[in-house]
Amino acid sequence: MTPDALIVGGAGFIGTNLSAALLERGERVRVFDNLSRKGVEANAAWLERTFGSAIEIVVGDVRNVAQVTKAVDGAKSVFHLAAQVAVTTSLDEPVADFDVNARGTLNVLEALRQSRTRPPLVFTSTNKVYGDLEDIALREGPHRYEPQSAAIARAGVSEERRLDFHSPYGCSKGTADQYVLDYARCFDVPALVFRMSCIYGPHQMGNEDQGWVAHFCRAVFDGEGLTIFGDGKQVRDLLYVGDLVDAFLRARGAARRLAGRAFNIGGSVDNSMSVVEVLALIEELTERRPKLRYETWRKSDQRYYVSDTRAFTKETGWRANTRPRDGVSRLLAWLREAQASAHWPRLRAS
């Protein structure tokens, strides 16, 4: 197969949604994934059942240079989503975290640099490259924190924010982020970076370390308790995965023009919610509320992060169109269907 798109980490939550969108457009997709995250085997099987020969699943690891080079060969575009995604895991296993996130990304970049066609690359980074944001003065309300800065309250955190890597995860993703931008500058690889906020939607196997909206929904369905770290008033901007897929497609189309740039991608101010506000929304939609247990703040946890997405909107016309009520409703509907299906045996909350 000569794929229209290679999705590195393509059996994960975001990769599955992106793969499906591309396949529905008639494109041929190669998924490269080591299938290490719980539940992704079910995503890979669903893609194969649904799309047949149009999808190629390659089991491999970004740490293996030969496997990465072979996967990149012939691809017309590349989306690099594979990562170790949890701050907590990075604190326990910092070397493994670096090998996957930093060295793995360098392996992808080298394969692209050495390829004959230099396909465009979209790389998924994280808002954690901005650190804990402790210098942003906040007002504490009854249900959420709000920034005292009128500019941040109006638009969120922009790409002008200085980088400040916290935690091994922040360092490894930040390193990868900067390598992608520098390969665009030094080697003319048409690559750009998405610094992403809270993504949620169908096919998400969330847990308390990553994918917390899905984790909350699953815990409600399973009647299990939840641990809230901090006071629950921390705020994120929620971005429905369908809107992210739209951003990916626009970025790919403009990759040669936007090469070497990083963009903050999230739901923006209009789709920002605190942890307790999300819990209240889930309770309203399901008429269920889990038992909550509160623990101390985790290292490097941001009390307020909302993406200023105006730069990407200006360049591509993209906007986040799905409101949290609609997006969470879709996630809940998918979870109901998934838990009733024999093809999804692992959808118990962690």
The H-assigned helical ranges of 162-231 are: 167-187, 212-222
Look at strands 138-140 and 145-147 and give their pairing: antiparallel
Asked if residue 52 lies in contact with residue 30, where contact means CB atoms within 8 angstroms, the answer is: no
Asked if residue 120 lies in contact with residue 252, where contact means CB atoms within 8 angstroms, the answer is: yes
Residue 254: count other Cβ atoms within 10 Å of its Cβ: 17
* C-alpha pair distances (Å), 196 with each of 2, 219, 326: 29, 24, 20
**Rounded Cα distance, 80 and 178, in Å:** 14
* C-alpha pair distances (Å), 45 with each of 50, 55, 151, 215: 8, 11, 46, 22
Residue 326: both structure tokens together? 């609609």
Residue 56 DSSP class: E
- Total residue length of the chain: 350
Asked if residue 332 lies in contact with residue 285, where contact means CB atoms within 8 angstroms, the answer is: yes
Q: Is 130 a catalytic residue?
A: no
**Rounded Cα distance, 350 and 348, in Å:** 6
Residue 313: count other Cβ atoms within 10 Å of its Cβ: 16
Catalytic residue among 130, 145, 169, 200: 169
Q: Give 277-289 as a DSSP string.
A: HHHHHHHHHHS--
**Rounded Cα distance, 212 and 206, in Å:** 6
Strand runs labelled E in 9-77: 29-33, 55-59
Per-residue exposure over 43-64, b if at least 16 CB sit within 10 Å of its own CB, e if not: bbebbeeebeebbbbbebbbee
Catalytic residues: 169
